[in-house]
Amino acid sequence: MSSNPPDWRQRLHLFLFDPHTPSGRLLEIFWIITTLTSVLTLFIESAEPHSVAVKLTEPSFFLLLEYIFTLLFTLEYLLRLYTSPRPLRYAVSFYGIIDLITTLPLYIFWLWPDIALRYMMALRLLRVLRLLRLIKLLRYMGSANVLWDSLVSARKKLFLFFGGVMILLCLFGGLMYVIEGPEHGFTSLPVSLYWAVVTMTTVGYGDITPHTPMGRMISSVLILLGYSLIAIPTGVMSSYMTDVMQRNRHRRRCSECKISGHDDDATFCKRCGGALEDKTNQAGIKPA
Amino acid sequence: MSSNPPDWRQRLHLFLFDPHTPSGRLLEIFWIITTLTSVLTLFIESAEPHSVAVKLTEPSFFLLLEYIFTLLFTLEYLLRLYTSPRPLRYAVSFYGIIDLITTLPLYIFWLWPDIALRYMMALRLLRVLRLLRLIKLLRYMGSANVLWDSLVSARKKLFLFFGGVMILLCLFGGLMYVIEGPEHGFTSLPVSLYWAVVTMTTVGYGDITPHTPMGRMISSVLILLGYSLIAIPTGVMSSYMTDVMQRNRHRRRCSECKISGHDDDATFCKRCGGALEDKTNQAGIKPA
Amino acid sequence: MSSNPPDWRQRLHLFLFDPHTPSGRLLEIFWIITTLTSVLTLFIESAEPHSVAVKLTEPSFFLLLEYIFTLLFTLEYLLRLYTSPRPLRYAVSFYGIIDLITTLPLYIFWLWPDIALRYMMALRLLRVLRLLRLIKLLRYMGSANVLWDSLVSARKKLFLFFGGVMILLCLFGGLMYVIEGPEHGFTSLPVSLYWAVVTMTTVGYGDITPHTPMGRMISSVLILLGYSLIAIPTGVMSSYMTDVMQRNRHRRRCSECKISGHDDDATFCKRCGGALEDKTNQAGIKPA
Amino acid sequence: MSSNPPDWRQRLHLFLFDPHTPSGRLLEIFWIITTLTSVLTLFIESAEPHSVAVKLTEPSFFLLLEYIFTLLFTLEYLLRLYTSPRPLRYAVSFYGIIDLITTLPLYIFWLWPDIALRYMMALRLLRVLRLLRLIKLLRYMGSANVLWDSLVSARKKLFLFFGGVMILLCLFGGLMYVIEGPEHGFTSLPVSLYWAVVTMTTVGYGDITPHTPMGRMISSVLILLGYSLIAIPTGVMSSYMTDVMQRNRHRRRCSECKISGHDDDATFCKRCGGALEDKTNQAGIKPA
């Protein structure tokens, strides 16, 4: 059973991508650093906007780096595809699609070398495709944590809150559309809604501002509403997090003396020093 | 007793508008979707501001849609009026007036076809009347929730807080009116108050800004006050929500084993699996 | 003892200014309304900035109103001075000085009628003196509440927080002064500090903005710091308020069955319906 | 043992710099006031930007003050160096380097008198070096407090939060770079990221704003995300502070009757009046 191909593939998968093996943990750090370097390079390259088109045709330091990154991420994609227990399922999964898309820009440029030279928009799009590599990082961030638990517990209240806020924004936007009108920048309902969002959330660009006394009064009301309404989601999150943290404290027990009440980040029992039970069993694939 | 008109009307009311019956729940979803589509149409229509007047006179896709929506909402209004146990009370209620007003724009346009062509303001007003359909959604949002309970419990403290904030805003606005004066945009006390609101709530449009060193110093003080005072309503809401959630947890009991301490969103007892008592008895009209 | 003048004055004081007597409570409402009307009048008057100087010389509706308000507040000041147990102490107290100052503007104008006509700044100052009437309202807001208790308990932590924020603001302001320099609006250290305050607190007027890539990077760091540091005072206030509310709940006992644990706004015992002990003994002057 | 030089130096150190001795506490206040005055002088001096270069060459009040401050801080540095138990360790420590750097500006000016006259940037740099004196104040602020404990406990969650926010900012920045493009100010990816930071944190300078309907829609989404995401770090801090405060309450015991549950700022036992155990043993050097 241990010599048939699937098992060998599984071993390679554990070796390369399982964060519970030493090699997997090291490679995880390698991929995080590679991804961050790749995105950083993209930012530096993009900071010199005048010579962008040239940069992809003429040999340059940035092009060399992009060759290396594309090679590495293509290798990663093929290895993940090959070692995955269900290759097709990986290929159509969220991370599978992201892994594929973020290797494409250079290949697209090879196939249609003129596209980036002709259409500036296409060049910008190819760049942003490379930016999506950041999403690969989410894989390593873990999702079973207090932040996520609190958000999920509070989803109904937060949804209700945002429903109410959206209605308020539409009504105030509409009111200002009537009062200020196109002559003061409120040219249409969507523009007025954009103004309401920018105002109520205290962003305040200043590209559209009220000019009539009535408009300024209504703006002030909307602003004070936004200033105080922020207390509601904050209060919701605070109370849910306090709640989730207290529950976590009671959920974990010492495997030796069976007492609970340990801190969220404790690994050993505070009374007898025994190991604490794991919060979630993240074992994944069982050893063969 | 089951054949006299009022009872038949009551049955129709239960069938159409009571969310506790299957038909009522389906129609609730229908009205929510209709309302949202109607408002979305309005936004798209308003995004092309140049041909607005024409749109209502010439046959167009948007006009056709508006005919359908007006027909639907008129029908809803008449049905609600007819099936209501107290028609007059519904007609003068908040939702009754909203239901009526939001069906009017097209009728107004039919009666005075010239009004929208002559006065742009009237056209904008007719549009915003249609926007009020969003308020109809509040009917379906439910009001007996933790958010509302916390707001009501905290109303005294929040009122005190806003009283204090208003006094601060007036005083700082007045101070800046003296220091900066009309030559830097602080033309009157209301304008200075508007500036104070925009500044203290960290909106910061930038349409009126201090230019003298003294004015900038006082602005900085007001800004830092606003930045830190937001902690007060947030703290109030957090503490009240933590409180309301803990009380809710102790309020609901299992109908079988009578223990309390269940989560806010639990429907069954965590120990014996029995049904939990309902938080609020929302039965409404008893079956005949 | 009940016929000598001081006692009679005391009775008048109780009758006029003690909120525990029915007459005092009615007059309290009268003074609140008068003050708010007076300030509202001032705002409306100031909204027409062109004819201000004329308004004080020619008979007008606003001038008539100001005569009435000045008369009322002068009467209030004299009555408070006369009925106060210690007139001198009242005269030099905070509220005594505010009461006096806010009656002055019209008298100053009578004494030096030319001042407001010649110096616009003097006119604005006279107006803002009238605005100080808002401070009189603080007298009726009460100070022994949870908001104030929490602020006092948290004062050390909030002071430490603001010390740290001030140091951060100065350092970032200084850094931007070096990097951006006078050519991008950072003309001096105070101006850079003003920019840092406006930026870190997320006000963002946009009158001074970074233009160099380095300056924009440092701004982004300062902005993200400001965005997250706001969590500290909010967290402090939330935890102190939760604490103060829990303590209050245990502090008040039923005078009948002696149990504690009542809600903050409860007036009667939740178990036996007996009256709860008062939080603070605000009796003031004992009956003669 | 009490007459050898190291001990005499230690006594001087205790006398001058230990806040547990009366002289040390007095000198601490002296240094705080000196530092604040020095920085205040710098701000006032910098507010007159036209005569800066002249000010350092011609005798002036500000130059005289700067002589005095430089003398004082040099003396402080030498005394700290001389009385420190390990002089070299102090010299390379964070505070040692800050103490040295902030005395340098005047000496640099003496060595190269032309530098400030020729390069405005150098002059600004010398000024900001003096501004670093503010960091000396951190020495006196104490670090073992609830704020710091909460931040350290919450560091994992806050780090995760900021990782997620950074990814969001990059993606939204990239998206706007594609949609709005250089013609609306989004000239490169770093500029778009700067815009995303300014927008999501609700600063909203208004120097770069979206102009296309699509861009405004995406901005609105980013703004509403930023408006609501702030609830997460606030919730984290609130729950950790509530937690740290409750733990502190149970950690400190009365040295007499051994009960715990005292307030955070209590110094004596609330039941028997005995002294409470100190939170942290900050004794430092034991008396000889």
B269-279 confidence digits (pLDDT tens):
666 666 665 54
pLDDT the model gives residue A1:
42
Mean pLDDT, rounded, of chain A:
80
Whether residues D213 and B238 touch (CB distance < 8 A) is answered with no
Assign residue C249 a region: left if phi > 0, alpha if psi is -120 to 50, beta otherwise? alpha
Residue from the list D46, D204, D240 with its beta carbon closest to the beta carbon of C188 = D46
- Angle at the Cα of A186 (from A183 to A191), degrees rounded to 5? 150
Cβ atoms of C6 and C12 within 8 Å: the answer is: no
Closest approach of chain D CAs to the CA of A199, in angstroms?
10
pLDDT the model gives residue A66:
86
Cβ-Cβ contacts under 8 Å, D120 against chain C: 181-182
Q: If you measure CA to CA, which chain C residue comes closest to A212?
A: C47
Confidence of residue D72 (pLDDT cuts 50, 70, 90): very high
Number of inter-chain CB pairs under 8 A, C vs D: 138
Cβ-Cβ contacts under 8 Å, A204 against chain C: 203-204
Confidence of residue C263 (pLDDT cuts 50, 70, 90): low
Cβ atoms of C228 and C200 within 8 Å: the answer is: no
Residue from the list A160, A175, A206 with its beta carbon closest to the beta carbon of B145 = A160
Q: If you measure CA to CA, which chain D residue comes closest to B202?
A: D203
Cβ-Cβ contacts under 8 Å, C201 against chain B: 202, 223-224, 226-227
pLDDT the model gives residue B154:
81
DSSP class of residue B182? Answer: G
pLDDT the model gives residue D59:
63
Per cent of chain C over pLDDT 70 is 76
- Which of B188, B194, B212, B250 is best to mutate for the C interface (most C CBs within 10 A)? B188
pLDDT the model gives residue C244:
78
Architecture of the CATH domain D150-249: Orthogonal Bundle (1.10)
ipTM over 0.85: no
Residue from the list D49, D190, D203 with its beta carbon closest to the beta carbon of C213 = D190
Confidence of residue C205 (pLDDT cuts 50, 70, 90): very high
Residue A204 has pLDDT above 80, yes or no: yes
Distance between CA A157 and CA A163 in Å, rounded?
Answer: 10
Confidence of residue C287 (pLDDT cuts 50, 70, 90): very low
CA gyration radius for chain A? Answer: 27
Per cent of chain B over pLDDT 90 is 30
pLDDT the model gives residue B282:
36
Contacting subunits of A (3+ beta carbon pairs below 8 A): B, C, D
Q: What string of H, E and C letters represents the secondary structure of chain A? A: CCCCHHHHHHHHHHHHHCCCCHHHHHHHHHHHHHHHHHHHHHHHHHCCHHHHHHHHHCCCHHHHHHHHHHHHHHHHHHHHHHHCCCHHHHHCCHHHHHHHHCCHHHHHHHHCCCHHHHCHHHHHHHHHHHHCHHHHHHCCCCCCCHHHHHHHHCHHHHHHHHHHHHHHHHHHHHHHHHHCCHHHCCCCHHHHHHHHHHHHCCCCCCCCCCCCHHHHHHHHHHHHHHHHHCHHHHHHHHHHHHHHHHHHHHHCCECCCCCCCCCCCCCECCCCCCEECCCCCCCCCCCC
Range of weakest confidence among A93-97, A144-148, B245-249: A144-148
pLDDT the model gives residue C232:
85
Condensed to tens digits (0 to 9), the pLDDT of residues C215-245 reads 999 999 999 998 888 888 888 888 888 877 7
Closest approach of chain D CAs to the CA of B250, in angstroms?
21
Amino acid at D81: L
3-class secondary-structure state, position B98: helix
Cβ-Cβ contacts under 8 Å, C234 against chain A: 234
Residue B153 main-chain phi, psi, to 5 deg: -60, -35
Distance between CA B228 and CA B217 in Å, rounded?
Answer: 17
Whether residues A127 and D219 touch (CB distance < 8 A) is answered with no
Contacting subunits of C (3+ beta carbon pairs below 8 A): A, B, D
DSSP class of residue C275? Answer: B
Residue from the list A167, A188, A238 with its beta carbon closest to the beta carbon of B137 = A167
Where do the domains of chain B lie?
Answer: 8-138, 150-249, 252-288
Q: If you measure CA to CA, which chain D residue comes closest to C207?
A: D205
Whether residues A207 and D206 touch (CB distance < 8 A) is answered with yes
Whether residues C141 and B160 touch (CB distance < 8 A) is answered with yes
Select the CATH number that applies to the domain covering C8-138 from these four: 1.10.3470, 1.20.1070, 1.20.120, 1.10.10.
Answer: 1.20.120
A288 vs B141, C254, D2, CA distance in Å? 53, 67, 71
Whether residues C213 and D198 touch (CB distance < 8 A) is answered with no
DSSP-assigned beta bridge partners for residue C63: none
Residue B245 has pLDDT above 50, yes or no: yes
Per cent of chain D over pLDDT 70 is 76
Distance between CA C120 and CA C129 in Å, rounded?
Answer: 14
Whether residues C197 and B160 touch (CB distance < 8 A) is answered with no
pLDDT the model gives residue D127:
81
pLDDT the model gives residue A280:
42
Q: What is the mean pLDDT of residues D146-161?
A: 80
Whether residues C234 and B239 touch (CB distance < 8 A) is answered with no
Cβ-Cβ contacts under 8 Å, B233 against chain A: 228, 231
Cβ atoms of B230 and C202 within 8 Å: the answer is: no
Residue B283 has pLDDT above 70, yes or no: no
Confidence of residue C54 (pLDDT cuts 50, 70, 90): very low
pLDDT the model gives residue C138:
82
Closest approach of chain C CAs to the CA of A198, in angstroms?
12
pLDDT the model gives residue C253:
63
Condensed to tens digits (0 to 9), the pLDDT of residues D87-100 reads 899 999 998 999 99
pLDDT the model gives residue C8:
80
Range among A126-135, B21-30, B244-253, C193-202 with highest mean pLDDT value: C193-202
* pTM metric for this prediction: 0.84
pLDDT the model gives residue C71:
93
Per cent of chain B over pLDDT 70 is 76
Q: Which residue is associated with the tokens 């090699």?
A: A23
Cβ atoms of A246 and C242 within 8 Å: the answer is: no
Confidence of residue A124 (pLDDT cuts 50, 70, 90): confident
- Which of C199, C217, C234 is best to mutate for the A interface (most A CBs within 10 A)? C234
Distance between CA B58 and CA B47 in Å, rounded?
Answer: 18
pLDDT the model gives residue B37:
92
Residue from the list B131, B191, B230 with its beta carbon closest to the beta carbon of A227 = B230
Per cent of chain A over pLDDT 90 is 29
